Amino acid sequence: MKLLHVVGARPNFPKLAPVFRAGERRGVTQVVVHTGQHYDDALSGSFFNDLGIREPDVNLEVGSLSHAAQTARIMERIEPVLMQQMPDWIVVYGDVNSTAAAALVASKLGIKIAHVEAGLRSYDRSMPEEINRMVTDRLADLLLTPSRDADVTLRGEGEPPSEIVFVGNVMIDTLCHSLERARMTRFRESLGVGRDAVVVTLHRPSNVDDPERLHAIASALASIAERRPVVFTVHPRTAARIESMGVNLGKVRQLAPIRYLEMLDLVEGAYAVVTDSGGLQEETTALGVPCLTVRENTERPVTITEGTNKLVPDPGRLPTAVEQIARPTNPKRPEGWDGHAGDRVIDAIVSFRR
Q: State the catalytic residues.
A: 203
| Residue 170 near residue 117 (C-beta atoms within 8 A) | yes
DSSP codes, 6-74? EE-SGGGHHHHHHHHHHHHHTT-EEEEEE--SS-SIIIIIHHHHHTT-PPPSEE----S--HHHHHHHH
DSSP category for residue 314: S
Q: Is 214 in contact with 246 (CB distance < 8 Å)?
A: no
Asked whether the beta carbons of 266 and 189 are under 8 A apart, the reply is: no
CA distance 282 to 269: 16
Pairwise CA distance, residues 200 & 234, whole Å: 8
Report the distance separating Cα 61 and Cα 100, nearest Å. Answer: 17
C-alpha R_g of the chain? 20
d(CA 286, CA 266): 14
The Cα-based distances of 336 to 267, 341, 345 in angstroms read 22, 7, 12
φ, ψ of residue 275 in degrees (nearest 5): -155, 170
Residues pairing with 133 in the sheet: none
Residues 6 or more apart whose CB falls under 8 angstroms from that of 294 comprise 202, 207, 217, 274, 275, 276, 312, 313, 315, 318
Q: b/e map of 80-97 (b: 16 or more CB within 10 Å)?
A: ebbeebebebbbbbbbbb
How far is CA 77 from each of CA 2, 71, 263, 268, 309, rounded to the nearest angstrom? 20, 10, 32, 38, 38
Cβ-contact 298, 304 below 8 angstroms: yes
